[in-house]
C-alpha cells in the first residue's frame, strides 16, 4: 500500500484498488496531483483492500478489476467490500461496458461505472464528486441494462465458496419462485411448464443442495441472501 499523503482540508479520501493496467495507472497518477483528493492505493484483492480501508477514512473506492482474475472473483471482492463497508461508495473502472459487467457491478454494490476506453481526468473527477454526493454514475445504456433486468423473471443465484454456480438458470428461477411462497402449480403457470417438469427441477435442486423439503430450500435461499456471494438481487448474472 502506498504511503498516505498529507491531508488537505475538505479533500475526498479515495481508495484506488488497481490491477496495474496502464490507463488506470495514468488516471491515478493524474489524481495524485489534485489537492481535492487524498489517495490511498493498494492491490485489487480483498486482504489488501481491507488493510487500506483500516488505514484511512475512505469515502470513495475506485476498483480496477484484475484482468487475470475471473469475473466471479472480481465481483466477489467488490461485494465483500460492500458488505463490510457499505458507507464507502464504489466505482468500477472497466475497459468495456458490456451488459454482464455493468449488471454484476451494480448488483455487487457499485454506485458508478467508469469506462476507461472513454476516460479523461475531467470526467473521472466529475464521477468521483457525483458518487460522493450520493448520485449514480451511469449512462442511459447502462441504466437500461439494470431496468431490463428488474423486469425479468426473478432468479436466485446459488454459488459455492469459489463463486461457481451450483444450479442452472431454470433451477434458479424455480428457487426464486419457491422462496416467494408459490406452489408447484403456480410456478408451472408462471414458467409455462408442466407441474411434472417443476417437480423434476425440484428433485434435482434438492439433490444438488443436499436438502429434502421446500422449507429447507426457503431457508437455504434466505441464508444465501446474506452471504458474500449471493444477495437480493444476487450479485452475478449470466
C-alpha cell, 193? 411448464
Task: Using the predicted structure, report yes or no on whether residue 218 has a pLDDT greater than 90.
Answer: no
Confirm whether 6 is domain-assigned: no
Higher pLDDT, 67 or 103: 103
Confirm whether 7 is domain-assigned: no
What is the spatial distance between Cα 57 and Cα 54, in angstroms, rounded to a whole number?
A: 8
Question: Are 144 and 229 contained in the same domain?
Answer: no
Kindly report the pTM of this predicted structure: 0.64
What's the whole-number average pLDDT of the chain?
81
Domain end residue (candidates: 117, 149, 181): 149
Question: Are 142 and 220 contained in the same domain?
Answer: no
Domain end residue (candidates: 112, 133, 149): 149
Confirm whether 80 is domain-assigned: yes
Confirm whether 1 is domain-assigned: no
Confirm whether 159 is domain-assigned: yes
How confident is the model over 69-120, as pLDDT tens digits?
677 788 888 988 998 999 999 999 988 788 888 888 998 899 999 988 776 8
CB 142 within 8 A of CB 168: no
Domain end residue (candidates: 128, 149, 170): 149
Question: Are 32 and 124 contained in the same domain?
Answer: yes
Q: Which of 187, 208, 181, 211 is nearest to 199 (CA)?
A: 187
Rg (CA), the chain: 20
Domain hosting residue 120, numbered range: 12-149
What is the spatial distance between Cα 182 and Cα 203, in angstroms, rounded to a whole number?
A: 16
Burial class of residue 195 in the structure, from the number of CB atoms within 10 Å of its CB (0-12 exposed, 13-18 middle, 19+ buried): middle
Q: Which of 103, 96, 120, 93 is nearest to 16 (CA)?
A: 93
How confident is the model over 36-52, as pLDDT tens digits?
999 998 888 899 999 99
Distance of CA 115 to the CA centre of its chain: 16
In the chain, the number of structural domains is 2
Amino acid 120: pLDDT:
82
Question: Are 124 and 160 contained in the same domain?
Answer: no
What mean pLDDT do residues 198-221 have? Answer: 87
For 99-145, the DSSP string reads HHHHHHHHHTTEEEEEEGGG--HHHHHHHHHHHHTT--B--HHHHHH
Q: Which of 145, 142, 171 is nearest to 156 (CA)?
A: 171
Question: Are 68 and 185 contained in the same domain?
Answer: no
Question: Are 207 and 101 contained in the same domain?
Answer: no
Question: Are 141 and 27 contained in the same domain?
Answer: yes
What CATH number is attached to the domain comprising 95? 3.40.50.2300
Task: Using the predicted structure, report yes or no on whether residue 63 has a pLDDT greater than 70.
Answer: yes
Confirm whether 218 is domain-assigned: yes
Amino acid at each position: 500500500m502506498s504511503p498516505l499523503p498529507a491531508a488537505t482540508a475538505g479533500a475526498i479520501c479515495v481508495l484506488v484498488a488497481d490491477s496495474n493496467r496502464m490507463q488506470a495507472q495514468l488516471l491515478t497518477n493524474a489524481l495524485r496531483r489534485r489537492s481535492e483528493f487524498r489517495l490511498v492505493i493498494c492491490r485489487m484483492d480483498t486482504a489488501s483492500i481491507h488493510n487500506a480501508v483500516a488505514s484511512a477514512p475512505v469515502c470513495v473506492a475506485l476498483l480496477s478489476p484484475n484482468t487475470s482474475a475471473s469475473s466471479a472473483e472480481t465481483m466477489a471482492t467488490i461485494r465483500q467490500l460492500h458488505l463490510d463497508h457499505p458507507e464507502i461508495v464504489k466505482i468500477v473502472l472497466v475497459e468495456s461496458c458490456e451488459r454482464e459487467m455493468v449488471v454484476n457491478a451494480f448488483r455487487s454494490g457499485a454506485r458508478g461505472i467508469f469506462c476507461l476506453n472513454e476516460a479523461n481526468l475531467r470526467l473521472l473527477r466529475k464521477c468521483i464528486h457525483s458518487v460522493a454526493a450520493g448520485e449514480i454514475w451511469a449512462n442511459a445504456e447502462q441504466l437500461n441494462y439494470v431496468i431490463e433486468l428488474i423486469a425479468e423473471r426473478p432468479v436466485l443465484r446459488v454459488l459455492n465458496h469459489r463463486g461457481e454456480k451450483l444450479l442452472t438458470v431454470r433451477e434458479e428461477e424455480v428457487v426464486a419462485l419457491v422462496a416467494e411462497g408459490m406452489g408447484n402449480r403456480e410456478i408451472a403457470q408462471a414458467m409455462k411448464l408442466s407441474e411434472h417438469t417443476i417437480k423434476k427441477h425440484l428433485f434435482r435442486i434438492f439433490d444438488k443442495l443436499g436438502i429434502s423439503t421446500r422449507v429447507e430450500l426457503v431457508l437455504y435461499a434466505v441464508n444465501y441472501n446474506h452471504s458474500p456471494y449471493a444477495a437480493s438481487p444476487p450479485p452475478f448474472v449470466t
